[in-house]
Amino acid sequence: MSDKRNSYRWKIIYSIVSGLLLGVSYYYMFSPIAWVALVPLLFVILSEPPSRAFKFGFLAGLVQAVIMYFWMAKVTSSYMGEVHPISVFFLFLISIFYAAIQLTLFSWLVSFISHNISKKSFVNILTGTFIWIGIELLKDKAFGNSFPWFSYPIAISQAKVFPLIGIVSLGSIYFLSAILVLVNFFLGYSLIKKRRFFLFVAICLFLLNISISALLTNNKQSQTGNETIKVALLSENIAADIRWNDQTGDSLVNIFFTLNTEAIKHMPDLIVWSETAIPWPYSEDDPFLEKIFSAPTNSYQLIGMLQKGTGKGTVYNSALLFDGNGNFTEQYDKIDLLNALEKPLFPGISKTKLSFLAEGLMDNVLAGNHRNIFQIPKGKFGVLICNESLLPAATRKLKKDGIELLIVMSNDGWFAGTQVVQHHFYLTRFRALENHIPIIINSNMGISGFIDANGKIIEHKKSDLSFILNTEISLKSLF
């Protein structure tokens, strides 16, 4: 009896350890531990029947979720406007139990298959990997559009380490997730079966991933063309609560005048502002825009700004393109609105939004209906706003329509002080690899920079002060 109790306690500890490792690898994007994070849990659930395996999976998931979502407490307490207690309760409830349910389902299915369907190690390893990837795809389908932080694949843990992520250029981030989970399974079976062969396979898979990544990125590098576009980013870095405060409007305007004047001196082909850099709706006779375009320039300007909607008091979260003479040419209206920021947390039940949307100008944000392609003399580009860059399908659609460059405009001020800011930048990096296109990211209070079509970061910067970034990016499609 004593041995059984000790064994049970160790299995609880192993499950907690897996939850800790998974939570840290996801939230802090700590690459090394993701390759072994599932091993303690696999050691438990492969030795337990489904009726008990799901309990250990649930425990691991709870620990993982606490690490991944504790940032919500800061964001919610700082920015919630008209808060309904039930909405806040469900926000945290969903956040904590979501990851727990994911690992619970995974643990139960893996245990069920290994105990009731197949006793062959390779079959169980492959089946378990497919189960994990299937759950990741379901998460993306269910949460990707409105709660992107619920849809993170395990591959996010590798986003900072360029030599490990090249396999994504085969077309999907889930290829990297599959390699990660396979390595964990083979390591787990090496402990369970006490066979070095499984350890050997795990090491070979890890090295194979590095080799394939190097081969793919080096091959693409050799195909890069000479056609370039000069781009300047205006990164204002104004705190979220200050940007939407009417009393600070003059200082906001002065910051943009200064940045824009400096950017024009570099004679870029395109000047890129951040998401809703101008926190009021566009009008043709706006004196602010008139002054911005008073200086002679050939530079096009892409400005994040509100656009009046079709109904009374409604607006779009838009990106507006102006030519060098200040003529408005095209716009894109954000399609995938973010829950609790741009649309109610629970439509039909609660009107809870963050403060800048619960009050003031943004009374009711409308969703756009078409991913426009922007055309300037140097080429075609597409725009994604904020969380849209985390949606693989959104970038894939723009690439299919012929863009040569992707521009991401964001306002990460609402998540300042959390790892979500880094998640946003580095997950967008995968879009470059998947679609073989360069990406420009301008994020207020976040990380702004340039990523080439290989997924390599050309330059990036994060600061609490305003700055300008300049670069030239190749527009030649690689494939």
Task: Categorize the per-residue pLDDT at 77 as very low, low, confident or very high, splitting at 50, 70 and 90.
Answer: low
* Region 328-342 average pLDDT: 85
CA distance 450 to 459: 5
pLDDT at 364: 77
Residue 37: CB atoms within 10 Å: 26
pLDDT at 361: 36
* Region 259-272 average pLDDT: 91
| 330 contacts 321 by C-beta, under 8 angstroms | yes
pLDDT at 464: 87
pLDDT at 357: 36
pLDDT at 354: 47
With a cut of 80, say whether residue 244 has pLDDT above it: no
CA distance 404 to 440: 12
pLDDT tens digit string along 19-43?
999 999 999 999 999 999 999 999 9
Q: Taking the model in full, what pTM does it have? A: 0.89
With a cut of 60, say whether residue 242 has pLDDT above it: yes
Site of tokens 């607006």: 315
Q: Which residue has the higher pLDDT, 75 or 404?
A: 404
To 5 degrees, how large is the angle CA 234–CA 240–CA 242? Answer: 95
Task: Categorize the per-residue pLDDT at 240 as very low, low, confident or very high, splitting at 50, 70 and 90.
Answer: low
With a cut of 90, say whether residue 91 has pLDDT above it: no
Classify strands 270-272 and 278-281 as parallel, antiparallel or unpaired.
Answer: unpaired
pLDDT tens digit string along 337-368?
877 667 765 555 555 554 433 333 344 788 88
Q: Which residues neighbour 275 within 8 Å (Cβ) at sequence distance 6 or greater?
A: 304, 317, 319, 385, 386, 409, 410, 411, 443, 444
* Region 101-117 average pLDDT: 94
pLDDT at 476: 58
With a cut of 60, say whether residue 79 has pLDDT above it: no
* CA-based nearest residue to 271, from 323, 334, 316: 323
* Of 10-19, 41-50, 209-218, minimum mean pLDDT range: 209-218
**Assigned CATH topology for domain 228-474:** Nitrilase/N-carbamoyl-D-aminoacid amidohydrolase (3.60.110)
pLDDT at 142: 82
Percent of the chain with pLDDT strictly greater than 70: 85
Token pair listed for 61: 């998931």
Q: Can you give the residue ranges of every domain in the chain?
A: 2-221, 228-474
CA distance 461 to 340: 28
pLDDT tens digit string along 374-417?
999 989 999 999 999 999 999 999 999 999 999 999 998 878 88
